[in-house]
Amino acid sequence: MSHIDCAVRGCNYNIFNKPRGVTFHPCPIRSDMRNKWLQILKTKCTVLDWNRSRICSKHFETKCFNIKGKLKDDAVPTLFSSAAHKHPVKQTQETSTSSRTTVDRVLNKLTQAELMSDIKNTLSKMKEPSNLETYMNDDYRCKPDTPTEAQLWILIKKQDHLNTRLMELVVQNKKHVELLQKNLEEARSSKKETEQSIETYKYIVKCLQEKLATLEEQIEILTTVESRKKKRLY
């Protein structure tokens, strides 16, 4: 039998020492009921795990149970010892929400294009350093000890370079697609012409076969006539 004990701080009941009639109840599944339980238990429990924690029946009023002794769906624990220490409950990963800074929230909402546009607008109010090229390599990487302002300008130039290169690739790909489409149309046209030629050749072959049959028939007639003439002579 697995070890089960009450998650309420100061309550020592577990599956082995519980008095007769005491039962243990899991946390609710419904989100609205979980919120109600959390508001009540956040200062009553050291750890509250929605999947494993159990609350014993001593913390529920009688009205929370039906006639069969089963805990009602809308029941919440309300009976606690006054000696319980008020420490915030440690929620498990399932119930905890990660705290994010204002900067994180803003950055997550902005796309890369919006960020670059915002940086450009900010830098447009400042003058581009005249010696900017001395701070970057050929691949638009910042050299060591590059000032922050110069790093931002280099970032903008790198982004512009990438955008230009991307547009060039888009144009090239568009030309390739157009060429492929043209070749496809030519192939379809060639296929159609080939099919027409095949049909023409089939017709010519059919005509030649019919002519050959006619010639063979004429040869057979001439052969028969010639044979009869020879018989008469003899």
pLDDT for the residue numbered 98: 40
Last residue of a domain, one of 91, 126, 145: 91
DSSP assignment letter at 26: E
pTM listed for this prediction:
0.37
Phi and psi at 34, nearest 5°, equal: -60, -40
Q: Domain check: are 66 and 127 in the same one?
A: no
* Residue at 85 is within a domain: yes
Find tokens 């496809």 and name the residue: 184
Tell me whether residue 191 is in a domain. Answer: yes
Residue with tokens 């803003």: 106
For 56-110, the DSSP string reads EGGGS-GGGB-TTSPBPTT-------TT------EE-TTT------HHHHHHHHS
Question: What is the separation of C-alpha 97 from the centre of its chain, rounded to a whole number of angstroms?
Answer: 23
User: Do the domain assignments include residue 209?
Assistant: no
Task: Give the residue ranges of the chain where pLDDT is below 70.
Answer: 1-2, 82-127, 130, 234
- The DSSP call for residue 225 is H
Tell me if 34 sits within 8 A of 27, measured CB to CB. yes
pLDDT at position 115 is 60
> Is 132 domain-assigned?
yes
Residues 22-34 pLDDT 10s = 999 999 989 899 9
Are 128 and 83 in the same domain?
Answer: no
pLDDT for position 77? 94
Domain count, the chain: 2
d(CA 97, CA 40): 18
Same domain for 76 and 143, yes or no, is no
pLDDT for res 106? 46
The 10s digit of each residue's pLDDT in 176-190 is 888 888 888 888 888
Name 130's Cβ contacts closer than 8 Å, sequence gap at least 6: none
Is 205 inside a domain boundary?
A: no
Residues 141 and 87 in one domain: no
Residue 86 belongs to domain spanning: 24-91
Residue 132 sits in the same domain as residue 63: no
Task: Decide if 83 is inside a domain.
Answer: yes
| Residues 32 and 85 reside in one and the same domain | yes
Residue 198 has a CB neighbour count (10 Å cut-off) of: 10
The encoded tokens of residue 139 equal 């691949």
HSE at residue 170, side-chain half, CA atoms within 13 A, is 6
Contact 150, 135 (CB under 8 A): yes
The Cα angle at residue 52 between residues 47 and 53, in degrees rounded to 5? 45
